[in-house]
Structure 1
């Protein structure tokens, strides 16, 4: 638990093959997975420049921690693309969720962290930003606005994991 940011709410993994990654997590008993085959971020910027990023995303909970799998499906610049091009696959970021997005954003900037990529998903209340924190904690640090439809979806995913019996392991979003 961070005194400034709260608990880590999500671990984000960058993968080359999302279907294989989902299968591996299912073998560990984590699920159900909520899968978006054509997830697109609105207002996406990488190092301040706008791009149209396309990706596949799958979400599941393991207790209170959300697991996110991301497979970028186009070649535009992004932290995901950088991560894979560096020869890595796996844990790329940890995320903190907040209802006070602007305050947390400014706090991290005041700590000397740099925003590398940002955008929104699920409407104007679905903002997210990735800060370069690898030199500090070994991963990127994401903040994600927890409001609107994104908050409702995240709550639904968590509830679905509680007592999950293995049925319907992959569910389309």
Structure 2
């Protein structure tokens, strides 16, 4: 556990082919089931202070208490994911820490000198922010709010992984507005 952030709750992998990645993780590694969203509804997205409209596909599954996120970019919108790929990388791009006290934790991290690069919102109470990696090249740190529907979704994904028997390995994301 990090004494600064708490537990790492998510490992985010940027992949070229999300369907092949879900297949590998479920068949070869036995991780699943995957909840797949072909176009994540991100609001208020910003990268380096500019607003954009990204089209990213995401799949989420748990291995124990750690959530695995697979991300495939679908357009050329500037992002840390695109930067990662343009540098010739594929694989682990970020580690995420979850919070129910987003404003307080964000203020603390900004006070410690962390520099935001990318952020936005997924659903109500689903803010997220990624920090600069200039002090450590490679894996990025994300702070992710897990209240409301996003938190409910993450709980559902964790529960589905408990005792998963390999059946129905890819499932659609439920509508966040109904959670």
In the superposition, the TM-score normalised over structure 2's length comes to: 0.93
- Match in the other structure for 1:29: 30
Q: Distance in 2 between matches of 1:136 and 1:89?
A: 18
- Three-state SS of the structure 1 residue aligned to 2:154 is helix
- Match in the other structure for 2:110: 109
Deviation at 1:110, TM superposition (A): 1.5
What are the within-5 Å matches in structure 2 for residues 66-105 of structure 1?
Answer: 66-105=67-106
- Three-state SS of the structure 1 residue aligned to 2:40 is strand
CA RMSD across the alignment: 1.1
> Which ranges of structure 2 fall in alignment gaps of 5 or more residues?
174-179
In the alignment, does 2:123 pair up with 1:126?
Answer: no
In the alignment, does 2:149 pair up with 1:143?
Answer: no
- Contact 1:134–1:140 at 8 Å: present in 2 too? no
In the alignment, does 2:175 pair up with 1:165?
Answer: no
Q: Distance in 1 between matches of 2:3 and 2:137?
A: 16
**Corresponding pairs, count:** 172
- Three-state SS of the structure 2 residue aligned to 1:39 is coil
- Contact 1:96–1:142 at 8 Å: present in 2 too? yes
- Contact 1:10–1:68 at 8 Å: present in 2 too? yes
CA deviation string 1:23-44 (max 9, x = no partner): 1111110000000011131000
CA deviation string 1:45-65 (max 9, x = no partner): 000100000110000000000
Q: Distance in 1 between matches of 2:107 and 2:134?
A: 19
> Which ranges of structure 1 fall in alignment gaps of 5 or more residues?
none
Q: Distance in 2 between matches of 1:8 and 1:163?
A: 22
Deviation at 1:134, TM superposition (A): 5.8
- Match in the other structure for 1:43: 44
- Three-state SS of the structure 2 residue aligned to 1:149 is helix
Structure (1/2) with the larger strand percentage: 1
- Match in the other structure for 1:64: 65
* Runs of 4+ more than 4 Å apart: none
Deviation at 1:82, TM superposition (A): 0.4
- Match in the other structure for 1:3: 3
- Three-state SS of the structure 2 residue aligned to 1:22 is helix
- Contact 1:64–1:158 at 8 Å: present in 2 too? yes
- Three-state SS of the structure 1 residue aligned to 2:39 is strand
